[in-house]
Every structure is written in structure tokens, then in C-alpha cells.
Amino acid sequence: MLTRRKLIDMYIRFFEEKGHKRIETASLIPVNDPTVLFTTAGMHPLVPFLLGEPHPSGKRLVNVQTCLRTNDIEEVGDMGHLTFFEMLGNWSLGDYFKEDAIAFSYEFLTSPKYLGFDKNKIAVTVFAGDETAPRDDVSAKKWEEMGIAKENIFYLEKEHNWWGLAGGVGPCGPDTEMFIDTGKPKCSKNCSPACKCGKYLEIWNDVFMQYVIKSAGEKAQPLQQKNVDTGMGVERVLTMVNGLKSVYETECFKPVIEMLEKLSNKSYSDEKYSKAFRVISEHIRSATMILGDKNDVVPSNVGQGYVLRRLIRRAINYARKLEIEASQLTQLCQFYIDYFKADYTSLEKKKQLILEEFEKEIRKFENTINGGYKEFEKAVSKMQNNTLEGEVAFRLYDTFGFPIEITQEMCADRGIDIDMEGFFESYKKHQELSRSACVGVFKGGLADDSYESTKYHTATHLMLAGLRKYLGEGVHQKGCNITDERVRFDFSFDRKLTDEEIVLVEKFVNDTIDKQLDVVCEEMPKDNAYKKGALGDFGSKYNDIVKVYSIIGVSCEICGGPHVCNTKELGKFKIVKQESSSAGVRRLKAILE
């Protein structure tokens, strides 16, 4: 049996022997990147180096990276989708290119010293070519030379054989993907790895990052540096090498599924329950890794905190199906802390906090979940046109704490439609009634910003202005994380702030609040914003047209918002903690009372 430990060690050693340096696993929560909530691939923290900045560890890198992908949370529970996973990756930053990358991949996949797959069971795809980049004959030729039969090499379009970050901006390029042929018959004459019939299972992806998209909607342009970025999911490899049916049979989930079997007295193999086993084990694993990350995230109604809340609450919802008390799920959290702590040391350090936050969230939802179910059943019995009223969905969200995605799933399970337009209308009405915030809060998206977090966005601008006033203009924002209970703010500064400095910054913010200044938002081209003197420390990450928020005489920043209308809405500002974030970067936590 190939274990996770052996696989990771084997992969790292293989690439170290080929001149790669192991780099540290980056945080699951990217601090300096406002464009994404979580690290979604091993290349993510490497973007500046793929674009040409020299990496301190050289041009050949390898690591295992924790990743979280959130677009398919409601799909989790089938056999394949995961939110959290570990990705093995190797990179060439302008060093070797297609031929060496393919030779490395081939050796690792087929050599009996490594994964030992039969070369006849490997199928690969290469880019078919379009107006951006030519057909990738170089990769196809190399695969053939290595020993992959011509009929197992497939040319596919951009949709399948091109990789770049979600959002469409950043380094990108054609890729060549590797699949294990399960031996099932072809589902049709045109059956290929692009098809979802289950004949081919993806095992590895080599991306040739030789292009960049500079801003949304722009065409890809060639990069000077030709890079390789590869990614291989640990859980999938363990499934395939060990000949298992799904990731849930691997060591990553099996022990937890067995724990759930004991707690519930039900069997995973009973089809009535197997989805619930999968959802609970998967979501608790992801929630533990988010809570245990070195950057703090707690359940909330905004950003990463909202994803965390959804994961925990969806797991609780499925725990009901297994008739398990939600509080018992803490044991699973404990299991994952122990399982991963040797690799990700913040888990052990934050153990107490992880368990406390987890239990707190369970208690919050437990208090309302039964009421919510009753409300749901009552509404279902009275509904018209087989559609749940939007207002009911909103009440479930607002009063009973049901993330809207959970209500949607409950409806889908029962074959009921849901009036989402009505939900958004109720939501909007409620926001308008409960506050007077200016802009952008209701974005039609669901990872919404509450009024509390909106206040923190504005308070953060005031804090940055105060820091620059007393510590100098060398202070720049390095990262920011807001919940509806606090802001955590990272900025460039290389020493501890004195108590006097903290008091001065607090006083500056509170005085500005007392002055009752309007917060004004304007949209303009990015260059004009800089000319106007707006601060904006994430230059290339902004779109061409940006929003600039100004508080006259105090602050002017490029920012997506949302913000309150007037500083008087903020209450009292207090800095509650300071610490070092990394070399040359300080971290402050502040609250509004």
C-alpha cells in the first residue's frame, strides 16, 4: 500500500535528485492577494516568479501545497469532488521546458522505483492549437519518443488543454495532462480523456506557462520566461496506485468514515447514507485546515469565513441524516489535526483555538437548525407552484443561519424550485432597512459583506492613513483580512510600534470618526487614480477601471469596497493586538466597539 507519507517523500526526493529545491508550503489563505479567497494551486504563491522575479531558491522548485477550491462545494458528496486537497508540484522558472518536464513525468509515473504504472495504461492530452498558440507537436512527439502509443495521445481544445488561474488574469499556457486508463471499454467512437465516462482518470498536469494575461478580458501575450508548472493531487494518486474505487477509501478519509460508522451505527456501504459520510468527512477535513491555517479565519458571513461557515453547517446538516449529534463531529476535527500536524505545524499550535471555534460554530447552528427545519417544512406544505418563496429562504438565512446554498440543496433534494430572485430582493430590502451603506454591498453574490464588515473596510482605510501619518509614508498595506468582528491588517514596517504610537493611531481614527466625514466613491482609469494620489498596493492585480474611495483630507485609496457613507457610522476604534507577520511586516488586529 502506498501511503501519503511515502508518496510525498518519494515525489520530493525524485525532484530533488533532479536539481529541484523544496520550498515551504504557503498558507492556504493568501494574505497579499485580494483577488482570491484561498490558494487554489501550487503555482499560486509563485505568480511573481513565473512572471520573471528571481526566486531565492533558484529556478527548479518542488513542494506539496495545501489547496482549497470552492466552486463545487455542493458537488462534494459524489465520488470525486474535493474542496481541500494536497497538490504535489514541480516548477521550472525559465529553466527546463516541455521535453524535460515530460521526461520527468514519464519516469515518475512508470518507473518501478516510483509509481510503476504500465506505460500502455497511460493516455495523455496535448493542446490542439488556436489563434493564441500553435498545436503542441513538441509535447506529442516527446510522449511518443518516451513510449506512449500514438492512439493514446489526444489533441484537445483550449477548454481542456490550457491552464490559468480562475479569474483569467496571470501566467497561463497550454498543458499536457496525464490519465490512467482504467481498462473500461470506450463509451463511444470519440471517447477521450475529455469525456466523463470514467474510462480515463486524470493523474497529473504539466502546464507550460509561457503566456500572461495582464488584465481581465485581454489576450494572452508571450512571456519572456518559459516556465513549467505541474500539479498532481495526493488523494487521487493514492486512490489510483492502490487500486481503490474512490478517494474515500484512502487513508485520507477511511479512518474518519469508520469513526462515523461507529458514532452512527450505520454503514458507509449502505447507499442511503454513503453521501452523508462523504460530505461530513470531506467538509470537516477542509474546515479543520482553514481553522488551522497560520492566518486566522473564523466562521462569519463574509469571504473565507463564509466558506468555512458553509462547510461546517453543511456537515452538520448531513450529520442529521446519520442521526449524529453535531458536537460529536469535534472528534473528526481532532483526527485531522493529528493527521496533518507533522507537515503543517500551525495545526498543533492552534489546536485549542481550532476546537473552540469549531464548537462555537456548532453551538450557534444547533440552536437554530431545528427551528429552521420546522420553518422549511411549514413553507413547503403551503407553497405554490412547487416553489419555495424567496422570503422564506431569506428568513432561513437571516434568522435560522441556513447558508442559502444549503436551502438550495434541501430544495433540490426534494425536487422543489426556489425563488432566488425573491431571496435577493428580501436580502436587499433587509440591507436597506438595516443600514445606510453606500455602495456595492449587494453584489448579487453570496459571499456577501455584512454591515459590520463594511464598517471594518472603512476603518481599515482610516487606520492605514493614521499609520502613514505617524510612522511615515514607507508604510504600505501588505495584507488585510476582515470579518464582522475584527480587522487583521498587515503592513510594511520593521519594528514593534510603541504604546504611544498605538494610542496616536487610535486617536487619529477616532477623531476622524467624530468629524463625521463622508466617504466618497468614484470610478476612474487606474492611471488617473494613481495621478490623483490614490494609494493602491496591488498594482497589476487591479482592473483598468478602478474604484477610488476618498475621505476628504484623510484618505484616498483604490479599493473594491464596500464602505459606509459617513465615518460617523463606525463607532469606537481600538487596536487590540500587534505582532510580527513576517520579516519587515507588522500585523495589527483592531475592533470597533
Terminal alpha carbon distance of the chain: 55
- Could you tell me if 470 and 501 are in contact, meaning their C-beta atoms sit under 8 angstroms apart? yes
Rounded alpha-carbon distances, angstroms, from residue 210 to 127, 132, 522: 13, 11, 36
Q: Which of 25, 176, 210, 230 binds ligand SER (CB under 6 A)?
A: 230
231 contributes a contact to ligand SER by CB under 6 A: yes
- Contact region with ligand SER (CB under 6 A), list: 35-43, 376-384, 489-497, 553-561: 35-43
487 contributes a contact to ligand SER by CB under 6 A: no
Looking at beta carbons only, is 91 or 491 nearer to ligand SER?
A: 91
229 contributes a contact to ligand SER by CB under 6 A: yes
Backbone angles phi, psi at 106, to 5 degrees: -60, -45
Looking at beta carbons only, is 41 or 263 nearer to ligand SER?
A: 41
Alpha-carbon span 54 to 56, nearest angstrom:
6
Q: Which of 11, 96, 104, 163 binds ligand SER (CB under 6 A)?
A: 163
Alpha-carbon span 331 to 319, nearest angstrom:
13
Least distance between ligand SER and beta carbon 60 (Å): 15
- Contact region with ligand SER (CB under 6 A), list: 38-46, 323-331, 432-440, 550-558: 38-46
Least distance between ligand SER and beta carbon 30 (Å): 15
Q: Which of 205, 239, 250, 286 binds ligand SER (CB under 6 A)?
A: 205
Least distance between ligand SER and beta carbon 164 (Å): 9
| Helices 351-382 and 390-398, packing angle to 10 deg | 150
Q: Which of 7, 29, 37, 41 binds ligand SER (CB under 6 A)?
A: 41
Q: DSSP letter for 19, please.
A: T
Q: Which of 7, 122, 124, 207 binds ligand SER (CB under 6 A)?
A: 207
Alpha-carbon span 362 to 330, nearest angstrom:
9
- Contact region with ligand SER (CB under 6 A), list: 55-63, 228-236, 354-362, 490-498: 228-236
Looking at beta carbons only, is 52 or 440 nearer to ligand SER?
A: 52
Least distance between ligand SER and beta carbon 421 (Å): 35
15 contributes a contact to ligand SER by CB under 6 A: no
174 contributes a contact to ligand SER by CB under 6 A: no
Least distance between ligand SER and beta carbon 183 (Å): 25
Residue 574 bridge partners (DSSP) = 591
Size of interface with ligand SER, in residues (CB under 6 A): 10
Looking at beta carbons only, is 230 or 288 nearer to ligand SER?
A: 230
Looking at beta carbons only, is 47 or 588 nearer to ligand SER?
A: 47
Q: DSSP letter for 180, please.
A: E
Alpha-carbon span 591 to 453, nearest angstrom:
11
475 contributes a contact to ligand SER by CB under 6 A: no
> How does strand 170-181 pair with strand 162-164?
antiparallel
Least distance between ligand SER and beta carbon 43 (Å): 5
Alpha-carbon span 402 to 406, nearest angstrom:
6
Looking at beta carbons only, is 91 or 143 nearer to ligand SER?
A: 91
The per-residue b/e assignment along 424-439, b for 16 or more CB within 10 angstroms, e otherwise, is bebbeeebeeebebbb
Q: Locate cell 509535447: which residue?
A: 139
42 contributes a contact to ligand SER by CB under 6 A: yes
The per-residue b/e assignment along 317-349, b for 16 or more CB within 10 angstroms, e otherwise, is bbbebbebebeebbebbbbbbebbeeebebbee
DSSP 239-263: HHHTT-SSGGGSTTTHHHHHHHHHH
- Could you tell me if 304 and 349 are in contact, meaning their C-beta atoms sit under 8 angstroms apart? no
Least distance between ligand SER and beta carbon 39 (Å): 11
89 contributes a contact to ligand SER by CB under 6 A: yes
Binding region for ligand SER (CB under 6 A): 41-43, 89, 163, 205, 207, 229-231
